[in-house]
Amino acid sequence: MKQLVKILTQLKLAKPLLKLITYIPKLLSLISYMEQYLLGLTKPLKEIKGYLTLLELRSNELKILLEQNVRKIPVDAVTIDSVQIRKLLQEFPSYRMGNMTHIQLDGKYWTCSKESLVKVIKEEWEYQKGYLLDRFDCDDSAVVFKALLAFKYGLNNVGVVIDYSSSHAYNLIVFSDKVEIFEPQSDSWPQIGSESYKFESGYILL
C-alpha cells in the first residue's frame, strides 16, 4: 500500500484519488442501478464494483497515507526572494554588523501569514515536542520544526538560529513584511534581544 501511495504521489494522482474516495458510495449505488438495466454489461460492471468495494474497504488506510503525502499549502502562501529576506534581516544590528552569519539555503522562499502559520502549529506541532538531553534538545527541535513545515506545507520560510550569545537554538520565521522568532519547544513567540534570544552572535540557516 505504501509503495502504491508513493507511485501515485510521484504521478500527481494523490489528490484526485482522495476526491474519488469520497464518491465511492455514490458510484457503487450508480453501478447497482445500472446493473438492472444494462444486462449486457453485467460482467464488466461487476468487476468495476468489485474494485470499488475493495477500495472502499481499505479507503481509511489509503486516505491516511495519501494525506500524509499531499502538501497542504496554505491558501495565502506567497513567494519572496533572497533579496527581500536580506532586506528584512537588515533591521537587526547584529545582522548588519555581520555578527549573525546568514547561510542562505534557497533562492526563492514560500511564506504565509502569521495567522495561517499559527493554525498549522496548532494542527501539526502540538504533539511533536519532546526533550532528551543532547539527543533531542533545542537544536534538534528547531531543525525538525523547519523540516516539518517544508515537507508537509511547502513552506521554506523557517530558519534555524544557532545563537552563540544565548547558548541556544530556535527558529526564525520570515513573513512577507517582517521577521519573528519562534520557540519550538514551547510554541511561543519571544522578542529578539530577550533572555535566551539575544541574537548577538551565531548563525542563521535559511
135-190 per-position pLDDT tens digit: 778 999 999 999 989 988 889 999 999 999 999 999 999 999 999 999 999 999 99
pLDDT at 154: 87
DSSP annotation of 40 reads: G
End-to-end CA distance of the chain: 35
Q: Are 200 and 206 in contact (CB under 8 A)?
A: no
pLDDT at 49: 66
Query: In terms of pLDDT, which residue wins out, 27 or 128?
Result: 27
With 0.75 as the threshold, say if the pTM is over it: no
